[in-house]
Structure 1
Amino acid sequence: MEEVSPALFLMSGTRERLGRMAAQQRGLRGGPVLVVGGGPVGMVAAAWLARLDIPVVLIEAEEVPKTDWRASTFHAATLELLDELGVAEQMHAEGLRVPIYHFRDRTEGLVAAFDFGLLADETPFPYRLQLNQQHLVRMLHERLRATPNVELRFGCRVTGVDRTPDGAGVELRAADGSTERLTGSYVIGADGAGSTVRNALGVEFTGFTYPERFLIASTSVDLSRALPGIAEVNYVADPREWLFLLRTPESWRAVWPVPPEQDESEALAEETLRRQFQGVAPWPDGYPIIDRQLYRVHQRVAGTFRVGNVALIGDAAHINSPMGGVGLNSGIHDAVDLARRLGRVAEGGADPEAELDAFDERRRAVAVEYVQADTQRNTERLRETDETRRRAAHDEMRALASDPDRARAYMRRASLLESVRRFGIGLPPGRTPEPATGAPH
């Protein structure tokens, strides 16, 4: 990835004053919006605010944009938003469209196939787009570098957050140890599951952690040749070692559980990973490993998504199992919802308290009722050990896939279209979407 000149991350006093004046002209008395976190969710928040001519300071602890491979799925409802942002075309040029995914059993093979094409009359994106998240970060970073009234502060770690009469402020520590305080009209915490912003606010992050860790490993071997008939996205149930297999433009990726007692260095060792892939599908030439990550998985939701003029989005607000590929997507929805509300506040006439309360209420409801509920159910379905419940789950998936109406409803929920059509994204307080009819979008 291209290195970024440190000069681009420096904000002079003159530019800060100009940003503050522009923010005041837009109705944000406290200055620019401070976005903490330069991952995909923080980048979307900054890009959307900039699109609304709201001055932004993006703060990221890393020296350069993040290159995390973890999330790679963009659903229809998210692609609609990113298309409005003007980045979907570039994403499609680099990404992989996957209209069909499989629910499989490791012993029995295919259980059910689901086709997002059933949603073609409702969305222009009836598929999953597979694209590693760092590419979206790169695309938006390139845009933000050239956008007026956007300051990029990489290599700066937020160490504290406080509220001010007109907004909120953050304490920063640079790589050289120097410190600085920035103030703005709002602070947006998009700084991940260990969020400094959330912890500074004292907001609870309730839920639980799975006992096993999840391991992601990528290989250059084409798994569709090793396992003929698989889809490009596959959820594979097994009571001993479930699997998640999916293709991205760069590689095939596998996700599997690592027992609590297994040592991390052993789990990540080249020999271990090659052996794991051979257990998935024998391949005479062996499996080159091109990426690996081991991480703990949580199901947690913040007690509130806003405190005063400080708001939480993405993993800072809710974190979940990756089974379903909705964590990144729902975080992007948080970012757009909040940006649209701040846009109305900046225009004047909108009640800031009512807008932020609506953001908190609606996005937290989506996190609990959709993201948490569905990812937990998906994970439990894959790891179920009781044979009677396993059979019942398989039968239910077959019944869903064989009934076009039920399959359509299932795909609407899986693609997050249902939650967006129900709650909207950034609708004014008191306004709700029109009842979903399945008509073309």
Structure 2
Amino acid sequence: MTSKTAGHNDPPVIIVGAGPVGMTATAMLAREGIPVVLIEAEPVPKTDWRASTFHAATLELLERIEITDQMIAEGLSVPRYQFRDRRDGLVAEFDLTLLRDETPYPFRLQLNQQHLVRMLYERLRTDDNVTMFFGSRVDEVAGTSDGATVLMETPTGPVTLHGSYVIGADGAGSTVRQSLKVDFAGYTHPERFLIASTTADISALVPGIAEVNYVADPQEWLFILRTPESWRAVWPVPPEVSRETATSPETLQAQLQGLAPCPGGYPIVDHQIYNVHQRVASTFRVGNVMIIGDAAHINSPMGGVGLNSGIHDAMDLTNRIIRVLAGTAERESELSTFAEIRRRVAIEYVQADTRRNTERLAETDDARRRENQAEMRAIAGDPDRARAWMRRVSLLESVRRFGIGTPPHEYESIRAAAG
């Protein structure tokens, strides 16, 4: 397959996975006139409701593909969020407008991830630089001296493609990662997480509640947030409770009624139950094949950073590939720097923070629970500490510290300073 755009004679970049991370990577490369082949196992663009938070650092990065304004127009901008206790009520409230001098987006944007997929699909399906294979399953990926080869099964039969690079954005069960025989070390939480979405107005049922809330409880913590379509509640499901029991209409209704009584019952428009992992791949790159997003690192959703860090991976990697294909950068140093930086961010920020958030909500020791409450109140009550806290959880800190697509020679000085 050859380039569709004058000036680019390299084989296409092959991207496996057309979720928000794979679509973002595709859009970044296509805007530079680089040919891309996008492969997706599902027959149509994904409609998964699971992730729904976009942080300030991510909205800044998505300006590069000119999609941020459309997202904000369709989404819900949330400037404040709360830490609550199921017994004690409000513990602390954080106001993201404290970051207004540091970012043009001092809020969390609540927008279900399938909307970003839809927006980018509508744009990319008519882009001459993009070839899409939906309903096509990748069976094997192998690196070559001048790129990589993908074997896939399409609706019309097997196809073999050769690309200059292969990017695996194909989720936690990544075929690309498995083909590379890359270890995915970590652990799986014993409980599963359940998301239920309702059109009931929870803010009317729980006075004073914010549009994003982390609710601690030693028996059953909750994460409650609002999106443009609905309110969503996330809670843990003990391992001994079957999927059928956990997702039955009676159980879902009882769980939501336990949050706040709703006369006439909660109208439930969607629900999902899934296993939760804390895992990081041993490397994000083997030769000319790279993995990003959930294919490279997966974590608890407490903090809303999984989707965001995956988009950051995509932006970092594609910036490097663009430079390499333009002949202004050296391939080995660029790709090695991508793998090192993004794995470091995954461990030091994404994994550390989401694990800490989940443990804080589920703490069973009463003395530690009180200590956690006192700490959160102290942070929220001090504008400087609150800014530092929100800078980190919005991923502004990691982006300012390591950059996105930072050239290798600049990263050397960052690494020396960071230790």
> Which bracket does the TM-score occupy, shorter chain normalised?
over 0.9
- For the pair 1:414 / 2:393, whether they are aligned, the reply is yes
State the TM-score, normalized to the length of structure 2. Answer: 0.97
Contact 2:3 2:9 in 1 (8 A): no
* Paired AA for residue 357 in structure 1: S
Contact 2:206 2:260 in 1 (8 A): yes
Percent identity reads 67
- For the pair 1:342 / 2:321, whether they are aligned, the reply is yes
Query: What does residue 337 of structure 2 align with?
Result: 358
Shift of the 417–27 alpha-carbon distance from structure 1 to 2, 3 Å rule, reads farther
Query: What does residue 292 of structure 2 align with?
Result: 313
Counterparts of 1:349 and 1:46 in 2: how far apart (Å)? 21
Root mean square deviation of aligned Cα: 1.3
Q: Aligned-pair distance for 1:430? A: 2.0
**From 1, 16, 36, the counterpart of 1:36:** 16
Counterparts of 1:322 and 1:238 in 2: how far apart (Å)? 17
Counterparts of 1:316 and 1:165 in 2: how far apart (Å)? 23
**From 80, 89, 109, the counterpart of 2:69:** 89
Describe the SS at the equivalent of 1:64. Answer: coil
* 1:314-371 deviations in Å (ceiling 9; x for gaps): 0000000000000000000000000000000011031100000000010000000000
Counterparts of 1:433 and 1:47 in 2: how far apart (Å)? 29
Q: Aligned-pair distance for 1:84? A: 2.1
* 1:36-60 deviations in Å (ceiling 9; x for gaps): 0000000000000111211100000
Query: What does residue 68 of structure 1 align with?
Result: 48
* 1:241-262 deviations in Å (ceiling 9; x for gaps): 0000000000000000000000
- For the pair 1:114 / 2:114, whether they are aligned, the reply is no
Counterparts of 1:348 and 1:27 in 2: how far apart (Å)? 12
Counterparts of 1:126 and 1:310 in 2: how far apart (Å)? 36
Matches within 5 A, 1:253-264: 253-264=232-243
Where do 5+ consecutive residues of structure 1 fail to align? 1-15, 436-441
- For the pair 1:26 / 2:8, whether they are aligned, the reply is yes
Contact 1:38 1:58 in 2 (8 A): yes
Counterparts of 1:375 and 1:79 in 2: how far apart (Å)? 20
Counterparts of 1:248 and 1:289 in 2: how far apart (Å)? 14
Counterparts of 2:54 and 2:306 in 1: how far apart (Å)? 10
Describe the SS at the equivalent of 1:112. Answer: strand
Query: What does residue 198 of structure 2 align with?
Result: 219
**From 130, 146, 149, the counterpart of 1:150:** 130
**From 276, 291, 302, the counterpart of 2:255:** 276
Counterparts of 1:35 and 1:110 in 2: how far apart (Å)? 44
Shift of the 336–433 alpha-carbon distance from structure 1 to 2, 3 Å rule, reads farther
**From 150, 156, 178, the counterpart of 1:199:** 178
Query: What does residue 60 of structure 2 align with?
Result: 80
Contact 2:79 2:97 in 1 (8 A): yes
Describe the SS at the equivalent of 2:375. Answer: helix
Q: Aligned-pair distance for 1:433? A: 11
* Paired AA for residue 118 in structure 2: R
Query: What does residue 312 of structure 2 align with?
Result: 333
Counterparts of 1:201 and 1:231 in 2: how far apart (Å)? 44
Contact 1:27 1:347 in 2 (8 A): no
Shift of the 213–250 alpha-carbon distance from structure 1 to 2, 3 Å rule, reads same
Counterparts of 1:115 and 1:434 in 2: how far apart (Å)? 34
- For the pair 1:104 / 2:89, whether they are aligned, the reply is no
Contact 2:148 2:288 in 1 (8 A): yes
* 1:166-196 deviations in Å (ceiling 9; x for gaps): 10011011235x1110010000000000000
Q: How many residues align?
A: 414
Query: What does residue 7 of structure 1 align with?
Result: none
Counterparts of 1:17 and 1:425 in 2: how far apart (Å)? 29
| Deviation beyond 3 Å, 4+ runs, structure 1 | 25-28, 432-435
Query: What does residue 391 of structure 1 align with?
Result: 370
Query: What does residue 35 of structure 2 align with?
Result: 55
Contact 2:98 2:106 in 1 (8 A): yes
State the TM-score, normalized to the length of structure 1. Answer: 0.92
Query: What does residue 138 of structure 1 align with?
Result: 118
Contact 2:83 2:91 in 1 (8 A): yes
* 1:375-398 deviations in Å (ceiling 9; x for gaps): 000000000001111111111000
* Paired AA for residue 241 in structure 1: E
Where do 5+ consecutive residues of structure 2 fail to align? 415-419
Q: Aligned-pair distance for 1:17? A: 3.2
* Paired AA for residue 179 in structure 1: P
Contact 1:33 1:185 in 2 (8 A): yes
* Paired AA for residue 155 in structure 1: G
**From 360, 364, 372, the counterpart of 2:351:** 372
* 1:140-187 deviations in Å (ceiling 9; x for gaps): 0011012121101111100000112210011011235x1110010000
Query: What does residue 439 of structure 1 align with?
Result: none
Counterparts of 1:356 and 1:240 in 2: how far apart (Å)? 45
